[in-house]
Structure 1
Amino acid sequence: MSKQTPSVVSSTPSHSWRGWLWDSADVTKEERKFLFKLDATLLTFGTLGMLIKWIDTSNITNAFVSGMKEDLNLYGNEYNYIVVAWTIGYIIGQWPSNIILTRVPAHIWIPFQEVGWTVFTFALAGAKSYRALLGLRFVVGLFEAGYWPALYYVLGSWYNKRELGKRNGILQSAVSIAPIFSGFLQAGIYNGLNGHAGLAGWRWLFIINGVISLPIAVLAYFFLPDTPGTAKPNWIFSERDIQIAQERMTRAGRKPEGKPYTIRTILGFLTSWKTLLFTLIFTMQPFGSHPFQSFVFWLKAHNKKGQPMVYTVAQINEYPTLGNAFTAVYSLTCVWVSDGPLRGRRWPIILFSNMIAIVVFVLLVVTPVMGPFSHRAPLYIVSSIGGSMVPLTMAWMAELISESAEQRAFTAASMNTLQYTFNAWVPLVWFQQVHQPYVTPGNRAAAAVAGLNIIVFSAIALLAHREKLARKRNNQVPDILDSPEPNPVDNGSEKSPVVNVLALQSKNVEPLGQPT
C-alpha cells in the first residue's frame, strides 16, 4: 500500500468561511478537480431535469386558471381528479423505477423517463376533453415517477456529509423555481400567444414545455454519471476519478449496489425503523404543501362574474411565485448552515422550521379568509417553510442508511410513494376545489400534522444518537464528521488522523494524495 498521507479535508468540517461557503475549497487539487466535474454534470443536469419535471407537473394548475377550466368545462371537482390521475401513475411507478435504477445505469434509465414524460406533455396540448386529460396526466405521472427519488439516490451515492445537504438543496430549489418559471411563462404565453395559430394560451404552455424539455432529456444521456459502484471510465470521468469516488464513499461508510433483492431483504427494509420513520414523515408532507396551493385560488376568488377584475390572469399566475421564491431562498440558507456551522447536523433546523409552520397554519385558521392582501398573502407565502426541509430530510436519510444502497433506493421510493398516496386523497377531503379558498379545516389539520412531524423527527434524532453510541461501544470506526475535534488544516498541510488511516487500511483502499 502507498505510504502517502491520506487527504481527509473532504471528510471533516472546515473552520474556514470558504469551506463553509463551498466545501471543495479545502480539498486536494485532485479531489477538487473531480468534484468540479461531478457538480458540472450530475448537479447541473440533475437540477435541469428536476426543473423541467416540476414545470411539467405544475403547469396543469397554471393552465387551469388561465382558460382550461372554461374551455373544457371543468366546473366541479374535475381539477382534483386530474391531479389524482397523475398521482396514481406516479405512485405505481415509484418502487419499480428505483429497483430498476440499482440494476440499470442511471445515464440510461433517467433520460428514458425524461423523454417519456416530454412526449406526453406535448400531447396535453391537444387534449379536447376531461377524459383525455385524465389519461394523459396518468401516463405523464408514470414516467415522472422515478425521477425525484432517483436523483436523490444518485446524489447520496456520490457526496459525503459536508457536501450532500447543499447539493440536495440546489436540486430541490428547482422544485420552487419551476412554478416561478411556469407562472411567468404562462403569463407571457397568455399575453403573447393566446389565439395564435388557433390555439388557446394554455395549450401553448404544454407545447413550449415540451420544446424546453426534449433537448435537456437528450443531453442528460451523455452527461449524467452512474453511481460510483456501477460507473465505468468515459469521456468525462477517468478510472482515477471513479477510484476517488469509491474511496470517498468508503470513508463515509456508504456501501455500493450489489446485494440481491429477496423477500427477506424487502421485509428487512419494511421493518427497519429508518425506513418506517422517514416514510411516515413523507406520508404527512401533503398537509404541509396544500395550504400554499390555496393562494392561487384565493386570488382567483376575488374576481366575481359581472364585476371588474380585482386580479388579472397575469397577477394570479405571478403572485404565488413569491412563495416559491421564499421557499427556495430559505431552503438553500438552511442546507448551507446545516453542512457548515452545524457540521452536518440536520435535526435542529428541521425542528425549528416545523415549529414556525405550526404558527403559520394556526394564523391561516384564525384570520379572515377574504381579508386584505397584506394580512393573508404573507401567510400563504411562508406557509411552505416546513416543506422546505425536504433536502435536509433526504440527506439525513441517506447518511443514516449508509450500509445498504438497495435500502436507500427502496426508502427514497417508499417515502415518495406514501407521500403521493396521501396526496391522492388529502385534497379530496381537506382541500376540495369547490371549497377553495375556504379550507379552514385543512389548515387546522396541517397545524396538527406539523406538530406530529416534530415528534417523529425527534424520535429519529434520538434513535440515530443511540445507534451512534452503540457503534462506539462496539469499537466500530465512527464517521470522521462526528469527531468533536476535527484535524486542523494549515496552509495546505494537515495532520493524518489515525482513525481514518486505519479505516482505509482495513478496507484495502488506496488513499488520496496530499492536499495542494
Structure 2
Amino acid sequence: MVQKAASIASSTPSVSWRGWLWDSADVSKEERRFLLKLDFTLLTFGTLGMLIKWIDTSNITNAFVSGMKEDLNLYQNQYNYIIVSWTVGYIVGQWPSNFILTRVPAHIWIPFLEIGWTVFTFALAGAKSYTHLLALRFVVGLFEAGYWPALYYILGSWYNKRELGKRNGILQSAVSIAPIFSGFLQSGIYNSLNGKAGLAGWRWLFIINGVISLPVAVLAYFFLPDTPHTAKPTWVFTERDIEIAKERMERVGRQPEGKPYTFKTILGYLTSWKTLLFTLIFTMQPFTSAPSTSFVFWLKAHNKKGKPPVYSISQINEYPTIANAFNAVYSLLTVWISDGPLRGRRWPTIIFGNLVAIVVFVLLVVTPVFGPFSHRAPLYIVCGIGGSAVPLTMAWMAELISDNAEQRAFTAASMNTLQYTFNAWIPLVWFQQIHQPNVTPGNRGAAVVAGLNVLVFSLITYLAHREKLQKKRNGQLAPTNGVLDSETQSTDGDEKKAVVVGDKEIVPVEKI
C-alpha cells in the first residue's frame, strides 16, 4: 500500500447541510479561498455579461410594442425578419468564435466581443428604417455569438461535477432575469425619458443598454480568468491558485486545450453520440421556448383601435416578467437538487420538466385563446419549464466530454448554432407575428417536440450509464470530487475515502 502526497482538492462527499447549500463549505480553507476568487470573477462578470446581452434580446420585443413598430412602420412580418437577422449573425459567428477561444486567452477574446457588441447596440438607437435595423441586428448577433457558449466552456474548465450545475444555473438565471429588468426598464424609460433630447423611449433603451455594457467589458479584461492550463499568474489568481485548478481538473479527467483541429478530429466530433444527441436536444429547443413569446402579443391583442385599452403599455411589458421570474426560480431549484440530493445526476429533473411541458402545451392547444386572464396567463407563465433544463444540460455535456477540451468547445458551439438555425425559421412558420397569439399549430408542435426531448434525454441517460460501466470495467473511471454516487465507487464496491489532515485532504489510498 502506498500513499500519495497531500492534495488540496476535495474528495470527501458533503456531510453538512451547509455543503448542500454551497459546496465550498466542506472543502479546505485554501480551496475555499480559491473558489471564492473564482466565483467572484467568473460568475460575477459572466452573469453581468449574460444579463446585459439578454436584456438586449428582450429589448427588441419591448421596443416593438412600445413605439418602434409605429415609428418605423413595421406592420407586416418585419418583426420576425429582424429577429432572423440577429439569428443569422449569431449562427455565422458560433463555430469560428469557439475555435478561436481554444487558442486565444479568454480575458482578451470575450471583452473584444463585448466591446464590439456595445458599439453596435449604441447604433441601434439611431436606426432610421427597417433596413437599418436588419443590418445592425446582424452585426450585434455576430459579436454576441461567442459569448454564451464561451462562458459555459470556461465554467466547465474550472468547476467539478459537484460545483458545475449550480454555477451554470446561476449563469443561466440571467437569461430569465434579463426580461424582467427589460420590461420594467422599458416601462420606466417610456414614462420618464420618452421624448427627451428628441428621442423616443424605445431608442433610449438601447442607449442605456450600451452604457451599462461598456464598463463591464473593460473590467472583464482585468478580472475574467482564462482556462486553468492557459492562465498565467495575475494579481487575482496566484501561481498556487492555478496549480490547485489544474489538480482539480486532473482529478475529474478534464483535459486541457492543445489538440490540433484536423478534418479527421472534427469528423470524429460530428459522429460522436455525445455531440450528436446534445446538439439534437438544442435543435429542438426553439420549439419548446417559442410558446412563451405569445404572452406579450396576447396581452397587446386585447387592445382594439377606437376602444379603451384593456392593458396599458406598462402592463404589456411587465406581466410577462412573471414567467421569467418563475423560470429563474425553478431553474435554480433544479440545479441545487441535482448537485445536492441527486448527487450530480442530471436526468431526473430534466425529464420531469419536459413531462410537465407536454401537459402545459396541450392545455394551450385545447383552451380558448382569448379566455379569462386566470385561465390563459398561468399557462404562459409556466410553459418555459422545459427550457429551464439548459444549465443542467450544458453541465451534463461538459461532464460527459471531460476528456477533450476541443470537443467540448465544438459541441457547445454546435448546440447553440443548430438551436439558432432552427430559431431562425420556426417563428416564421409556426409563430408568425401576423397570427399571434393565435398560434395553436405551433403549440401543438411544441407538445410533440417536448415528448421527443423526453426520449432523447432517456437515450443519453442510457448511453452515459453504459459508457460508465465500460470505463469501470476497464479501470478508466475518474473519481468525481465531492459527489458520492455510483461513479465514486471502486470496482470491488468499496467507497473511496479520504484522510483529512488539518485543512488538507489526502488523496484516496491506491492499491499497487
State the shift of 1:371 in Å. 0.5
- Relative to structure 1, the CA distance from residue 403 to residue 303 in structure 2 (aligned partners, 3 Å threshold; closer, same or farther) is same
Residue 7 of structure 1 deviates from its aligned partner by 4.6
- Whole-angstrom distance in 2 between the partners of 1:3 and 1:83: 56
Trace 1:260-409 onto structure 2 (pairs within 5 A).
260-409=260-409
Using structure 1 for the length normalisation, give the TM-score.
0.95
> 2-side partners of 1:348 and 1:192: how far apart?
47
2:507 and 2:42 map into 1 onto residues whose CA distance is 31
CA drift of 1:459 comes to 0.5
Displacement of 1:413: 0.2
1:220 matches 2:220: yes
Which residue number in structure 2 is paired with residue 509 of structure 1? none
- Cα shift at 1:57: 1.6
Partners of 2:504 and 2:142 in 1: CA distance: 50
Distance, in Å, in 2 between the alignment partners of 1:217 and 1:496 is 40
Question: Once the two structures are superposed, what CA deviation does each residue of 1:253-304 show, in whole Å capped at 9, x if it has no partner?
Answer: 1000010000101000000000000000000000111100100000000000
Residues 89-108 of structure 1: matches in 2 within 5 Å? 89-108=89-108
Indicate conservation of the 8 Å contact 2:59/2:205, yes or no.
yes
Q: Is the 8 A contact 2:9 2:31 kept in 1?
A: no
Aligned residue type for 1:6: S
* Aligned-partner Cα distance in 2 for 1:30–1:17: 21
> Contact conserved, 1:13 with 1:486, CA < 8 A, in 2?
no
Counterpart of 1:94, as a letter, is Q
Question: For residues 33 and 182 of structure 2, what CA distance do their matches in structure 1 show?
Answer: 35
Residues in 2 aligned to 1:488 and 1:107: alpha-carbon distance in whole angstroms: 36
Partner in structure 2 of residue 451 of structure 1: 451
- Which segment drifts farther, 47-56 or 157-166? 47-56
Q: SS of 2:256's equivalent?
A: coil
How far did residue 498 of structure 1 move? 3.4
Change (3 A) 1:12 1:460: farther
8 Å contact 2:87–2:138 — kept in the other structure?
yes
- Does residue 6 of structure 1 match 2:7? yes
1:483 is matched with 488
2:508 aligned residue: 498
Q: Which residue of 2 aligns with 1:514?
A: none
Conserved? CA contact 2:79–2:433, under 8 Å: yes
Residues 415-456 of structure 1: CA distance to partner in whole angstroms, max 9, x if unpaired? Answer: 000000000000000000000000000000000000000000
Letter in 1 for 2:401: I
Whole-Å separation in 2 of the counterparts to 1:231 and 1:98: 17
Q: Following the alignment from structure 2 to structure 1, what is the Cα–Cα distance between the partners of residues 328 and 66?
A: 25
Contact residue 488 and residue 494 of structure 1 kept, 8 A: no
Contact 2:66 2:202 in 1 (8 A): yes
1:322-356 Cα offsets, whole Å, 9 max, x none, are 00000000000000010011110000110000000
Alpha carbons of structure 1 residues 265 and 196: separation in structure 2 relative to 1, 3 Å: same
How far has the Cα of 1:460 moved from its partner? 0.4
Shift of residue 465, structure 1, vs aligned partner: 0.4
State the SS of the aligned residue for 2:158. coil
TM-superposed CA distance for 1:473, in Å, is 1.1
1:510 corresponds to: none
Aligned mates of 1:198, 1:494 — CA distance in 2: 63
- 2:49 corresponds to which letter in structure 1? G
Residue 491 (structure 1) shift: 10
SS of alignment partner, residue 36 of structure 2 = helix
1:5 positional shift: 3.5
8 Å CA contact retained: 2:8, 2:30: no
Aligned to 1:195: 195
Amino acid at match of 2:327: T
Unaligned runs of 5+ in 1: 507-516
- Whole-Å separation in 2 of the counterparts to 1:479 and 1:29: 22
Once the two structures are TM-superposed, the CA of residue 477 in structure 1 deviates from its matched residue by: 3.6
C-alpha contact 2:252 2:478 (8 A) present in aligned 1: no
**Percent identity over paired residues:** 79
Change (3 A) 1:197 1:495: closer
The residue that corresponds to 2:178 in the other structure is 178
Q: Deviations over 1:111-144 (max 9, x none)?
A: 1001111110100000010000000000000000
Residues 1:438 and 1:229: Cα distance change in structure 2 (over 3 Å): same
Q: 1:495 to 1:75 in 2, by over 3 A?
A: closer
1:86 partner amino acid: W
Unaligned runs of 5+ in 2: 490-494
After TM superposition, the runs of 4+ consecutive aligned structure 1 residues lying more than 6 A away are: 488-495
Q: Is the 8 A contact 1:49 1:216 kept in 2?
A: yes
When residues 494 and 40 of structure 1 are mapped into structure 2, their CA distance, relative to the original with a 3 A threshold, is: closer
Deviations 1:232-259 (A, max 9, x none): 0011101110000000000011000010
Equivalent pair of 1:487/1:495 in contact (CA under 8 Å): no
CA contact (8 A) 2:498 2:508 kept: no
1:368-415, Cα deviation, whole Å (9 max, x unpaired): 000111000000000000000000000000000011000000000000
- Output the CA distance in 1 between the equivalents of 2:119 and 2:505: 55
**Does the 8 Å CA contact 2:232/2:239 hold for their aligned counterparts?**
yes
Q: Does 1:86 align with 2:86?
A: yes
In 1, the alpha carbon distance for the partners of 2:215 and 2:397 equals: 32
What displacement does 1:489 show?
Answer: 8.2
- Stretch deviating more after TM superposition (51-60 or 252-261): 51-60
Worse-matched range after superposition: 269-278 or 51-60: 51-60
Separation of aligned partners in 2, 1:3 and 1:253: 18
Q: What letter is aligned with 2:382?
A: V
- Return 476-485 or 419-428, whichever deviates more: 476-485
Report if the CA contact (8 A) 1:487-1:494 is conserved: no
Change (3 A) 1:488 1:372: farther
Cα separation, 2, equivalents of 1:15 and 1:340 = 11
Residue 175 of structure 1 aligns to which amino acid in structure 2?
A: V
| 1:199-219 C-alpha deviation (Å, 9 max, x unpaired) | 111011111111111111111
Counterpart residue identity of residue 197, structure 2 = A
Pairwise CA RMSD: 1.7
The 3-state SS of whatever aligns with 2:217 is helix
Query: What's the counterpart of residue 60 of structure 1?
Result: 60
Q: How does 1:29-44 map to 2 (within 5 A)?
A: 29-44=29-44
Distance 1:88 1:418 in 2: 11
Q: 1-side partners of 2:142 and 2:355: how far apart?
A: 35
Q: Which residue of 2 aligns with 1:154?
A: 154
